[in-house]
Amino acid sequence: MVWPKDVPSAPRSGSAQTGLRGRFRHWWLARHPVTDTWTLNQHNIYILPTRGGWAFGLTLLVMLVSSINYQLNLGYVLTFLLAGSGLVSIHLTHGTLRGLTLHLRPATPVFAGEPALLEVVMSNPGGARHGIGLRFQERPHDPRDAWCDVPEQGQASASLSMVPTSRGWHPVPALLVETRFPFGLFRAWTHWRPASPVLAYPRPEQPTPPLPLAQSAPGGAPQARQGQGSELDGVRAWRRGDGLRQVVWKKAARSGQLVSRETTAESSRELWLEWQATQGAHSAGAEGRLSRLTAWVLAAEQQGLVYGLRLPSQQFAPDRGDAHQRRLLRELALWH
Amino acid sequence: MALSTPPRALHRAWPGWRHLPRDSRDTLFQLAVIGWTILPHYAHLAPWCMALTALMLFWRAHLAVTNAPLPSRWAVAGVLMVAAALTLWSERTLFGKEAGVTMLVVLMALKTLELRARRDAMVVFFLGFFLVLTNFLYSQSLATAVAMLLSVWGLLTALVLAHMPVGKPPLRQAGALAARAAALGAPLMVALFLLFPRIGPLWGMPQDAAGKTGLSGTMQMGAMAEIANDDEVAFRIRFDGRVPPPEAMYFRGPVLTRFDGREWTRQPGANTMTPRLRSELQLLGQPLRYEMTLEPSRLALLPLLELTPDRSDAAPQLEGINAWLRGDLQWQTERPVAERLRFQASAWPMHRHGPRQMTLALREHVALPPDHNPRTLEWAAALRRRTDLAQADPRTLVAAVLRHLRDGDYLYTLEPGSYGKNAVDEFWFDRKLGFCEHFAASLVVVLRAMDVPSRVVTGYQGTDPTPVDGYYIVRQSNAHAWAEYWQPGEGWVRVDPTATVSPNRIIRGASLLPRQGLMAGALGSVSPQLLARVRSALELANNRWNQWVMNYSRGQQFKLLQSLGVQAPTWQDLALALISLLCAGSLAAAGWALWDRHRQDPWQRLQRRIQQRLALLKVPVQPHEPPRTRAQRVRQHLGLAGEALALELEALDRSRYGQSGRPGLARGWWKRFAALAAATGGR
């Protein structure tokens, strides 16, 4: 895994860090390495009785006392059978996690404010495992926690979503992988600090502001028209690099072939998205300008324009297509 | 066809077991397990309790099938209050065994109505385990054990299901997982069961002792009727040599001398044997050697065969409890017997005891309360006035009364109804109905009225007709009362008036006819031999169960230790053995964990082995290459000769990474591959 240079090296501190307990937890977490592939073994799995486990112990004690007081040999058998099963469940619960290899798939970049999907793949070298839960360390239990079973010698994946609030690299918060299988008397868990961060693009301005005027490409006939108003001039077969919004879905549904809109100006115009041109963008300063530029990049790509980007320190030559769009969005996300 | 179609409303609600949503299915399964666990209580719980429980379970099942919301907490609390009131009404208390079990059953059913969170589910499981235990209070038979094993399995399965949150796991899978956990825990159970030191009760439970048996040291008319129907085993006895006939088997319990018109009680002064009493005890003939396994009776006595003296070679050798012979020849223990006792002793069926000459002490045995039973007193006086009886000795008088008993249409019945203040009068002249205690008490009263010293003896009489594995079973229903009168020159002589009226009761030793179930009845009419064989096999299994599991006690624990070479074991030795066994188990587990840490992932080990084997065939592969890349290398280097190997490698690759891969392929794969590789290399 290549470590992006802009990523902060430690996970962002949460609100739970205040107080002694929070500090302890922070110290405890910091002892764990930061890695994208986390193999669970005896060093990194913790196991303790649950509240149900303590209650079970108490039940057993009451049953033992009853057996003694009423001299019930079958009562002894029952109590000891349950005690044996309970003790064995320590091993089974621990074994549900032991040997698993967890791997975090690189997350697709998202726009700030949109949920990013984190997919964790669990590889199982042994027998079938059940009831493995995945959640963020900082968040309490939640019915939406991801649960999965991992088949024998197979793989399974569970997904969590996190919502980055601002643009830039976001480290994935510490994850908690836990299980209470089979009896819920013990809970085995591990802390995992994934390495790969999530990239969040700036939040595009809503509603989409009108695109600036395009300049004709060198050698082309000057055409002054607003990009926003580009008319539908015709359709052509879909080509690699055409955006989804360019597809004429109605026609595609009828014919079964993907077809894209073609605008007359498509190849002949060159649009520069300029930092300077965003002066009126709200009053939000740099972030507002980046928001507007992001919205423009999206709109320009959607309309199939050839567009370039000029930031105060950098300039990116006009081009089009997915790769170009991603590159520009990434620059906008990381600009400072 | 029309009959098998369910009503339309039900049909609409019931989508079929396989199509039930998971939550509904799990709830129904859990309810079925709970119902099964409660079912054996049907025999001894109040009818309202069973009805209420069944109603609530069915209601909950209906809610589960129709996916309706659960009732509010207020409704549940209301039902609980009603149940508590009903318990108080039917049991007169909220504490004690019966009331406790009643409340537990109701609570269990109520708790299913508020399964809201995981915590509620856990409470249901723990209540369920405890409910299983309560069944053992009433029966510890083999059948109960098997039924409750099913219950525990069901509860563990439901517990496993509750912790498999993904999808809809089949019941069978959850059941297998639960059985596996229980099987893994079984060695620990066996070790604990064998070695956990058996100790006496931590505290007494006074409420449960009363009414459990009639041998409580006091007797009222009619008090024994209830236990006459109690089939529970009181003790088992095995004879080393000659087996006495059932009619000679009298097991002596409390001897009742004082009578206040209503209740018979023991003589307070006769607590120990005096030298004089000892000198009056004369043992005749050959002794019978026997072994007795006494169930916890919660009474401070040992019902030993008449007559077991306190000579060192005859008296029972007991562990952990002291016992002595009272002056009235009853064996007394220092505290209620709350554990199972097994011991050997010797009895002399032929014996004489009591003063040979009239003494002042005998006067106590002719005392009668004034103002009671005037007609009996009058009748006794009339008998005494008869010419043939005026100067008769006690034996002749007893014979005369017994003749009257035999010829006077007296009837032996277990349900004689209740008697009033002058019970003996009613018995002799009005009702003429009763069972052992009526006969014994009435005989003693009339004898005393004729100035014959006499007393009531309670105990057990007779056994089950056929021995099982050499053991004769004596049940609570064998409880009995008889009389002793004083004969000059002989001492105390036993007389059993019940035998006069109902000889069967004494000779067959069984107060009740053995009940025949429907199955047994049908089988018996087809093949009596087969029925007899099945029954004896069942009895044998049951007896083995009794001897090895139910009667496993401290004595057997010590024997186990002795057979392992421990001299004179104590309970500390037991604890030590248990702790060392547990430590050894923990060490073994720790050792396994250490070994497991260094164990490799089977997939990676397989890849390493493949690499080594291919290297032998001169096919160079890298450690990180997946099987499909290795298949290409095999094709490059070996050409057609390696095609079979390449195909196997590709199959392995598909099974690991393919969409529809079968995860289990790797098991037999290596053998095939190794054989192919050997064949390829040889070519």
Partners of A134 in the β-ladder: A146, A177
- Domain assignment present for residue A72? The answer is no
Cα(B135)–Cα(B45) distance, integer angstroms: 11
* B548 and chain A in contact, CB less than 8 A: no
- Domain assignment present for residue A219? The answer is yes
Considering the domain architecture, whether residues A211 and A334 belong to the same structural domain is answered as yes
Interchain contact, B181 vs A92, CB within 8 Å: yes
The answer to whether residue A25 scores a pLDDT higher than 60 is: yes
Residue A169 is part of a domain; what is its CATH number?
Answer: 2.60.40
Considering the domain architecture, whether residues A135 and A34 belong to the same structural domain is answered as yes
User: Is residue B17 within 8 Å of residue B25, measured between CB atoms?
Assistant: yes
Q: Read off the tokens for B671.
A: 């053998």
Option in B136, B145, B164 nearest A130 (CB): B164
Distance from CA of B670 to the nearest CA of A (A): 15
Between B284 and B543, residue with greater pLDDT: B284
Sequence spans of domains, chain B: 8-190, 226-507, 522-595, 602-682
The answer to whether residue B642 scores a pLDDT higher than 80 is: yes
* B194 and chain A in contact, CB less than 8 A: no
Distance from CA of A121 to the nearest CA of B (A): 13
Cα(A205)–Cα(A282) distance, integer angstroms: 10
- pLDDT at residue A224, as a whole number: 40
Distance from CA of A80 to the nearest CA of B (A): 5
pLDDT bin (cut points 50, 70, 90) of residue A111 is very high
The residues near B480 (Cβ < 8 Å, ≥ 6 apart) are: B250, B436, B458, B459, B460, B461, B462, B498
What values do phi and psi take at B302, rounded to 5? -115, 120
Considering the domain architecture, whether residues A278 and A248 belong to the same structural domain is answered as no
- Domain assignment present for residue A84? The answer is no
Interchain contact, A181 vs B133, CB within 8 Å: no
- pLDDT at residue A226, as a whole number: 41
Mean predicted confidence (pLDDT) in B249-273: 85
The ipTM (two decimal places) reads 0.77
3-state secondary structure of B427: helix
* B118 and chain A in contact, CB less than 8 A: yes
Interchain contact, A42 vs B656, CB within 8 Å: no
pLDDT bin (cut points 50, 70, 90) of residue B525 is low
pLDDT bin (cut points 50, 70, 90) of residue B290 is very high
pLDDT bin (cut points 50, 70, 90) of residue A220 is very low
Between B164 and B506, residue with greater pLDDT: B164
Q: What HEC string does B491-511 produce?
A: EEEEECHHHHHCHHHHHCCCC
Cα(B251)–Cα(B237) distance, integer angstroms: 11
- Domain assignment present for residue A177? The answer is yes
Give B221's DSSP letter. Answer: T
Option in B156, B186, B664 nearest A152 (CB): B664
Which of A91, A89, A64 is CA-nearest to residue B192? A64
Distance from CA of A180 to the nearest CA of B (A): 7
Cα(B134)–Cα(B136) distance, integer angstroms: 5
Considering the domain architecture, whether residues A189 and A311 belong to the same structural domain is answered as no
The answer to whether residue A301 scores a pLDDT higher than 50 is: yes
Range of lowest pLDDT (B40-49, B397-406, B426-435, B538-547): B538-547
The answer to whether residue B151 scores a pLDDT higher than 70 is: yes
Considering the domain architecture, whether residues A176 and A120 belong to the same structural domain is answered as yes
pLDDT, one tens digit per residue, over B337-357 is 877 788 899 999 889 998 888
Q: Which residues of A touch B155 (CB under 8 A)?
A: none
Q: Which residues of B touch A91 (CB under 8 A)?
A: 184, 589
Q: Read off the tokens for A145.
A: 């926690």
Mean predicted confidence (pLDDT) in A2-19: 44
Cα(A74)–Cα(A82) distance, integer angstroms: 12
3-state secondary structure of A194: coil
Option in B119, B196, B589 nearest A76 (CB): B196
Q: Which residues of B touch A147 (CB under 8 A)?
A: 165-166
Residues 270-289 of B with CB under 8 A from A: none
Nearest CA in chain A to B138: A72
The answer to whether residue B53 scores a pLDDT higher than 90 is: yes
Option in B137, B164, B193 nearest A70 (CB): B137
Considering the domain architecture, whether residues A20 and A151 belong to the same structural domain is answered as yes
**Residues of B designated as active site:** 436, 480, 496
Residues 252-271 of B with CB under 8 A from A: none
- Domain assignment present for residue A209? The answer is yes
What is the number of domains present in chain A?
3
Select the residue from B146, B148, B155, B189 to test the A interface by mutation, using most A Cβ atoms within 10 A.
Answer: B189
pLDDT bin (cut points 50, 70, 90) of residue A77 is very high
Distance from CA of B275 to the nearest CA of A (A): 38
* B606 and chain A in contact, CB less than 8 A: no
User: Is residue A77 within 8 Å of residue B196, measured between CB atoms?
Assistant: no
Considering the domain architecture, whether residues A258 and A320 belong to the same structural domain is answered as no
The residues near A276 (Cβ < 8 Å, ≥ 6 apart) are: A310
Considering the domain architecture, whether residues A26 and A143 belong to the same structural domain is answered as yes
B437: left (phi > 0), else alpha (psi -120 to 50), else beta? Answer: alpha
Considering the domain architecture, whether residues A148 and A219 belong to the same structural domain is answered as no
Q: What HEC string does A8-33 produce?
A: CCCCCCCHHHCHHHHHHHHHHHHCCC
Q: Which residues of A touch B602 (CB under 8 A)?
A: 125-126, 153
The answer to whether residue B7 scores a pLDDT higher than 50 is: no
- Domain assignment present for residue A206? The answer is yes
- pLDDT at residue B516, as a whole number: 44
Q: Which residue has the tokens 């019931």?
A: B14
Considering the domain architecture, whether residues A175 and A105 belong to the same structural domain is answered as yes
User: Is residue B53 within 8 Å of residue B39, measured between CB atoms?
Assistant: no
pLDDT, one tens digit per residue, over A145-176 is 788 899 888 888 888 888 898 999 998 888 89
Select the residue from B98, B101, B135, B192 to test the A interface by mutation, using most A Cβ atoms within 10 A.
Answer: B192
Cα(A215)–Cα(A189) distance, integer angstroms: 60
Considering the domain architecture, whether residues A34 and A160 belong to the same structural domain is answered as yes
* B381 and chain A in contact, CB less than 8 A: no
Taking the whole predicted model, whether its pTM rises above 0.95 is answered as no
Which of B662, B660, B663, B679 is CA-nearest to residue B671? B679
Cα(A220)–Cα(A129) distance, integer angstroms: 65
Option in B165, B203, B552 nearest A131 (CB): B165
Q: Read off the tokens for B169.
A: 């796991």
DSSP string, B74-125: HHHHHHHHHHHHHHHHHHS-SSSHHHHHHHHHHHHHHHGGG--SHHHHHHHH
Range of lowest pLDDT (B268-282, B301-315, B377-391): B268-282
Which of B463, B459, B455, B456 is CA-nearest to residue B506? B463
Considering the domain architecture, whether residues A101 and A188 belong to the same structural domain is answered as yes
- Domain assignment present for residue A30? The answer is yes
Domain that holds residue A327: 202-230+265-336
User: Is residue B498 within 8 Å of residue B450, measured between CB atoms?
Assistant: no
Cα(A241)–Cα(A270) distance, integer angstroms: 17
* Domain-terminating residue out of A199, A221, A254: A199
Mean predicted confidence (pLDDT) in B61-73: 87
The answer to whether residue A1 scores a pLDDT higher than 80 is: no
The answer to whether residue A178 scores a pLDDT higher than 80 is: yes
Measure the N-to-C terminal CA separation of chain B; round to a whole number of Å: 69
Nearest CA in chain A to B156: A183
Count of CB pairs separated by less than 8 Å, A with B: 170
3-state secondary structure of B264: strand
- pLDDT at residue B637, as a whole number: 87
Distance from CA of B661 to the nearest CA of A (A): 9
Cα(B158)–Cα(A184) distance, integer angstroms: 11
Select the residue from A37, A71, A76, A98 to test the B interface by mutation, using most B Cβ atoms within 10 A.
Answer: A71
The answer to whether residue B514 scores a pLDDT higher than 70 is: no
Cα(B141)–Cα(B543) distance, integer angstroms: 10
Cα(B198)–Cα(A68) distance, integer angstroms: 8
- Domain assignment present for residue A122? The answer is yes
Nearest CA in chain A to B127: A59
